[in-house]
Amino acid sequence: MPAAPDGARDQRLRAVMGDAFADNAVDVNFERGTTRVSGLASLPTVNRANTRAQYLFVNGRVVRDRVLYGALRGAYQGLIAHDRQPMVALYVDVAMRDVDINVHPAKTEVRFRDPQTVRSAIVAGIRAALREEGPRPATTMTDQTLRRARAAPWLHFDRPSEAPPAPGLPSAPPGPDAPSGLRPAGKTEGVSYEPAPSSAGDVRSETEAPLAAVTEPPLGRARTQLHRMFIVSETTDGLILVDQHAAHERIVLESIKASLDKGEPQSQMLLTPEVVRLELAAAEILSHRAEELQSLGLVLEASGDGAIAVHATPAILGHVAVADLLQDLADELLEHSTAGTLRDRIEQVCSTMACHGSVRAGRVLTVEEMDALLRDMEKTPNAGQCNHGRPTFVELKRMDLERLFGRR
């Protein structure tokens, strides 16, 4: 591979692993005691189906070690799908006395004196790097979209039956047959997203101050909603498309985890207990985990013959379909029933809850609610991807738009 031996390490990694990886990776630089972790780790939205793009080094030596692979899984837990793998080029440096390199004839495996310290340093280092990066879309997502975009060779528009409006007169508003994908802003019914109280002050009318005097937020200002699924936001140098369900799912997940870490889960008591009937195995696993589920704000008890009575649900979820939530939680717990405690599967359980508490595709949001969602994204860790590793938003710079129309 064309990599200059005298070049900087990151330049060599770019030459070996390609620009797509280097442009969509974060710098890892972390020390804990005598353990140092450095290198590059991909954004969660840039991943592979296998571990071939994982290059691990211990004291400068290439290794394939199960402790290190397990640490990578832990670092990206809750950020990418279970069957996907991150791309990394990671260097772990420890004191020579703390590692044995002679456990394998080819010296590709090592034995650490304190593997837990090494594992925690890798997890903490990667998580810190991803957290400091903030919301950031993968450039490969935009590049792939641009490459697929092609101008139609010929477009034919049927002539309208009515005469066009006279010059200088406003056109009539769209009729009932107008395309429903692009919707004008306005108050609507059935809204399911409630702006966070701290975000309410971020919503401004465009007439409040001159444009130059307004400080534009990183994710811009919401302009409209497409197909009741995507938010279109205008930034100072382009536009951003947001998947409303994926974005809110991440916000809810991080809120659940934060309340759990503080030991302050908030429950929403039901006026009357809701009884849900499940298969016996599903009811038994939920009953067995009832005390642990209560720590997440879900209060339930067994009622016999596969029935579960739910007394309260996590407040962060809002109005939720209780039967569907219980079934999905039971499926998650049964699939991983060998885990010792719920804490061992906490990321997956919280993710399941977050999915049920999120704004669904197909729900109409007002501009104020869309702006509130954008502001919440800006202050939420890992907001660039949903709980399954898919991107929550993509960004098109103005020069990208110009390229689409042949201006560049």
- Supply the DSSP symbol for 142: H
Q: How confident is the model at residue 343 (pLDDT cuts 50, 70, 90)?
A: low
Q: Same domain, yes or no, for 112 and 217? A: no
Q: Same domain, yes or no, for 337 and 253? A: yes
- Supply the DSSP symbol for 197: G
**Is residue 201 predicted with pLDDT exceeding 80?**
no
For residue 173, tell me if it sits in a domain.
no
Q: Same domain, yes or no, for 284 and 373? A: yes
Q: How confident is the model at residue 365 (pLDDT cuts 50, 70, 90)?
A: very high
- Supply the DSSP symbol for 315: G
For residue 117, tell me if it sits in a domain.
yes
Number of structural domains found in the chain = 2
Q: How confident is the model at residue 358 (pLDDT cuts 50, 70, 90)?
A: confident
Q: Same domain, yes or no, for 98 and 212? A: no
Q: Same domain, yes or no, for 216 and 327? A: yes
Assessment of whether the complete model's pTM goes beyond 0.85: no
Q: Judging by beta carbons within 10 Å of its beta carbon (0-12, 13-18, 19+), is residue 357 exposed, middle or buried?
A: buried
What domain range is 274 assigned to? Answer: 204-408
For residue 196, tell me if it sits in a domain.
no
Instruction: Give the angle subtended at the CA of 320 by the CAs of 314 and 308, to the nearest 5°.
Output: 75
Beta bridge partners of 61: 58
Q: Same domain, yes or no, for 274 and 400? A: yes
Q: Same domain, yes or no, for 216 and 358? A: yes
Would you list the DSSP string of 320-385?
Answer: --HHHHHHHHHHHHHHTTTSSSGGGGHHHHHHHHHHHTSPPTT----HHHHHHHHHHHHTSTTTTB
Lowest mean pLDDT among 39-43, 243-247, 262-266, 340-344: 340-344
AA letter at 250: R
Q: What is the pLDDT of residues 59-116, one digit of tens each?
A: 999 998 889 999 999 899 888 888 889 999 999 999 999 999 887 777 778 999 999 9
CATH number of the domain bearing residue 376: 3.30.1540.20
For residue 181, tell me if it sits in a domain.
no
Q: What is the pLDDT of residues 277-316, one digit of tens each?
A: 999 999 999 999 998 899 888 999 999 889 999 999 998 8
**Considering the chain, what is the average pLDDT of its residues?**
80
Q: Same domain, yes or no, for 393 and 273? A: yes
For residue 126, tell me if it sits in a domain.
yes
Q: How confident is the model at residue 338 (pLDDT cuts 50, 70, 90)?
A: low
Residue at a domain's end among 116, 133, 150: 133
Buried b (16+ CB within 10 A) or exposed e, 169-194: eeeeeeeeeeeeeebeeeeeeeebbe
Q: Give the tokens for residue 9.
A: 């390490």
The total of other beta-carbon atoms located within 10 Å of residue 256's CB is 24
Q: Same domain, yes or no, for 119 and 221? A: no
Q: Same domain, yes or no, for 114 and 227? A: no
Q: In Å, what is the CA distance from 167 to each residue of 45, 159, 237?
A: 49, 18, 32
Q: Same domain, yes or no, for 103 and 235? A: no
Residue at a domain's end among 133, 166, 191: 133
CATH number of the domain bearing residue 35: 3.30.230.10
Q: Same domain, yes or no, for 121 and 209? A: no
- Supply the DSSP symbol for 98: G
For residue 184, tell me if it sits in a domain.
no
Q: How confident is the model at residue 351 (pLDDT cuts 50, 70, 90)?
A: confident
**Is residue 139 predicted with pLDDT exceeding 90?**
no
What is the structure's pLDDT at 183? Answer: 40
Q: In Å, what is the CA distance from 86 to each residue of 41, 55, 195?
A: 7, 11, 33
Q: How confident is the model at residue 12 (pLDDT cuts 50, 70, 90)?
A: confident
For residue 147, tell me if it sits in a domain.
no
- Name which residue leads in pLDDT, 180 or 165: 165
For residue 52, tell me if it sits in a domain.
yes
Residue at a domain's end among 103, 133, 163: 133
